[in-house]
Chain A
């Protein structure tokens, strides 16, 4: 079945421009949806798009996770194929859901736990050893991620979250702090029609800061795709349901550990250093799905 492609976005970053250009290079016509302006009637779809939704692949590229999940759910409910599927977005957009899926499939991760009050948090910290890393369940770019060096710091942050945070901040998501070599790894992966995964590019993100996101100033350089990397990244992608993803990992004395899986990945800093035409690869993945 040949489907049309729709790119849905809320902020047009360089990534969305690069994707649109990649589709153009492949001769594909792409409809664009500026999601903040859309209304979506579950009976008739977007803007009267109606029955034609079944002939569409919606490439979800929203910066807002809430909007991304809503849009992909509505698209699928109307008969479209969404990239990524809402079940994948729901898992990847919630760090605890991601960790649970990875743990269920035996994918190596930093030691991770959840507590619901200060005493529980302190108990986990005692088990993991200081420093520990406290993360919000939802969020990206290293936002509100805290490295806590002792019980006093844990008490302070938990009190702040308790007083100032919303309901989601009552779930305290804690991870062991992995001594990484001043860098982490981001690997780009797409599922293949045969049920496998194609790990097609990877970068090191290096920073003097312990948070190495390129959005926080980390610098990108090419990372070789070793057998171990391909295996762990493939397993992580399978664990969350597959699709078009970026997997973040840290190197440890226990091997590669998966930190998170991103469903609407940024890639502007990864093209030149890897020499891989990442948007073209992504566009091909979408068009292959549209033709399936």
Chain B
């Protein structure tokens, strides 16, 4: 499991019956189902920042890294 050294972890803002909840990440808010997210999953916050899931228990986000030289298809 990734260590949670960056990013911001917050309690869910909504606990309605829908599994989708809203989370404050420190870079804006994302909506996701915390039971379904996976490490490394990418989201774009309502502030337009790409964030990456870096921890699941507790759920933690960090700003997604910039493109690296060997990234591709």
Instruction: Return B71 CB to nearest CB of chain A, in Å.
Output: 5
B39: chain A residues at CB < 8 Å are 12, 34, 37
| Interface band, chain A | 20 to 34
Write the A36-69 contact mask toward B (1 if CB under 8 angstroms, else 0). Answer: 1100000000000000000000000001111000
Interface residues of B in 50-73 (CB under 8 A from A): 52-53, 64, 67-73
Query: Once the chains are docked, how many angstroms separate the CA of A10 from the CA of B72?
Result: 12
Give the shortest distance, in Å, between B51 (CB) and chain A (any CB).
Answer: 12
Query: Contacts A36-B2, A37-B1 given: A12-B69 contact, CB under 8 Å?
Result: no
**A138 interfacial by beta-carbon distance below 8 Å:** yes
Count B-side interface residues using an 8 Å CB cutoff: 17
Give min CB distance, B2 to chain A, whole Å. 6
Interface positions of A from 139 to 186, Cβ below 8 Å from B: 139-141, 143
* B70-A141 in contact (CB<8A): no
What's the least CB distance linking B54 to chain A, in Å?
10
| Assembled-state Cα–Cα distance A263/B70 (Å) | 13
State the Cβ distance, A14 to closest chain B Cβ, in Å. 8
Residue in chain B with minimal CB distance to A246: B73
Q: Are B2 and A37 in contact (CB under 8 A)?
A: yes
Find out whether the CB atom of B70 lies under 8 angstroms from the CB atom of A12.
no
Q: Please report the C-alpha to C-alpha distance between residue A34 and residue B2 in the assembled complex, in whole angstroms.
A: 10
| Residues on B facing A (Cβ under 8 Å) | 1-2, 38-42, 52-53, 64, 67-73
Ranked nearest first, the 7 interchain pairs of A and B with the lowest CB-CB distance are: A140-B72, A12-B41, A262-B73, A34-B39, A65-B70, A12-B40, A63-B71
Q: A11-B64, A65-B72, A138-B70 are in contact. List 15 more A-B contacts (CB 8 A).
A: A10-B40, A11-B42, A12-B39, A12-B40, A12-B41, A63-B72, A64-B71, A66-B70, A138-B69, A138-B72, A139-B70, A140-B73, A141-B67, A141-B71, A262-B73
